[in-house]
């Protein structure tokens, strides 16, 4: 059964605040009254460490992220409560205290000290247990940042690395392995896929069984990849189908490109070697090889191998009739 835990503290005059000279006390001043000014209005002066508060990185790190730059949805989700009520004043929380945290399951960890018993006392702010640097890094290694976690679907064998960001409405079917520093954008569907580090996928991408995406590559919106390898730092950004293909390093596949891999009877392979540039709306009729550093002009239908460093273009000549009127 899910339980809602309220971490808020009522803000009122006289409450305990951070005990340093530069932090303001809580002041509540009556400014307007219904019987005199015609409306109830109060002025409230508080500091940023009043009551339940969120410390943004900017609080301690120069040029760090400020609170307004932290998406509200990152603060909502399923949480794991770790009971550390046995910790004493000023005692560090170390990695061994956190070993039971499961990997890649929770994006929010609540460390429970039962420190509320000291609310109203000076020690509430200054002598509580604290998270050591090594323990903080350990928690980050355990986590996956997910936006809208209730809309993300995993299989029992899904494997996800460190610092992975998963947006809403993503489906992980069987046999998916994700590396580190990967971003999976909304409405993407992955099955039987291996993705290396530093890859971006989606939104609205479909990666089918037998697909391998190497580090630094990008699979963009409305792209389908089936039984293909996309090598390092290559891009398939928009509206393309890549099937039964080997794509080399630093390749750019233009919008609307199709590998024509099925002739009605059998599947054939497309081999796109390193640093090839494929223009938009191109059809590559397999079996076909595009050799290193070749360029394919937009709108081409390629049926023959293209030699290294050459331009291949099959576009028909443009015709124009002057002063044309439709009948």
Q: Report the candidate in 246, 248, 223 with the shortest Cα–Cα distance to residue 236.
A: 223
Cα–Cα dist 121/119, whole Å: 6
Residue 292 φ/ψ, nearest 5 degrees: -50, 135
128 a catalytic residue: no
- Secondary structure (DSSP) of 98-155: GTTPPTTT-SEEEEE--GGGGTTSTHHHHSS-EE-HHHHHHHHHH--EESSGGG-B--
HSE-CB of 280 using CA atoms within 13 angstroms: 4
Bridge partners (DSSP) of residue 206 are 189, 224
Dist CA 68 CA 119 (whole Å): 28
Closest CA to 289 of 276, 300, 273, 278: 273
User: What is the distance between the alpha carbons of residues 248 and 282, in angstroms, rounded to a whole number?
Assistant: 17
The Cα 295–Cα 309 span in angstroms is: 7
Among 186, 132, 179, CA closest to 158: 179
Cα 101 from chain centroid? 21
State the Cα torsion 165-171-177-183 to the nearest 10°.
-20
Q: Residue 161 and residue 26: Cα distance in Å, rounded? A: 45
Give first-to-last CA distance, the chain, whole Å.
71
Catalytic residue annotation? 238
């Amino acid at each position: 059964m899910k339980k809602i835990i309220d971490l808020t503290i009522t803000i009122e005059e006289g409450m305990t605040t951070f005990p340093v000279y530069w932090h303001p006390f809580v002041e509540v001043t009556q400014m307007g009254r219904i019987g005199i000014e015609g409306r109830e209005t109060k002025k409230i002066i508080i500091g940023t460490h009043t009551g339940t508060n969120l410390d943004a990185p900017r609080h301690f790190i120069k040029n760090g992220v400020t609170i307004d730059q932290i998406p509200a949805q990152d603060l909502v989700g399923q949480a794991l409560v770790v009971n550390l009520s046995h910790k004493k004043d000023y005692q560090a929380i170390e990695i061994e205290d956190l070993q039971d945290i499961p990997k890649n399951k929770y994006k929010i960890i609540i460390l429970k000290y039962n420190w509320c018993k000291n609310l109203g006392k000076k020690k509430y702010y200054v002598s509580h247990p604290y998270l050591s640097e090594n323990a903080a890094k350990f928690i980050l290694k355990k986590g996956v940042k997910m936006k809208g976690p209730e809309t993300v679907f995993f299989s029992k064998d899904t494997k996800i690395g460190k610092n992975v960001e998963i947006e809403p409405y993503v489906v992980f079917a069987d046999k998916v392995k994700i590396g580190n520093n990967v971003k999976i954008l909304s409405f993407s569907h992955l099955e039987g896929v291996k993705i290396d580090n530093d890859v971006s996928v989606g939104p609205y991408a479909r990666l089918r069984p037998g697909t391998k995406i190497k580090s630094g590559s990008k699979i963009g919106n409305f792209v389908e990849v089936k039984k293909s390898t996309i090598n390092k730092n290559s891009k398939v950004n928009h509206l393309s189908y890549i099937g039964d293909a080997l794509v080399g390093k630093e390749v750019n596949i233009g919008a609307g490109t199709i590998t024509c891999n099925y002739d009605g009877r059998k599947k054939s392979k497309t081999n796109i070697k390193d640093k090839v540039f494929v223009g938009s709306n191109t059809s590559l009729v397999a079996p076909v090889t595009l050799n290193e550093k070749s360029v394919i002009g937009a709108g081409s239908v390629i049926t023959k191998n293209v030699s290294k460093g050459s331009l291949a273009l099959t576009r028909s000549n443009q015709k124009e009739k002057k002063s044309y009127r439709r009948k």
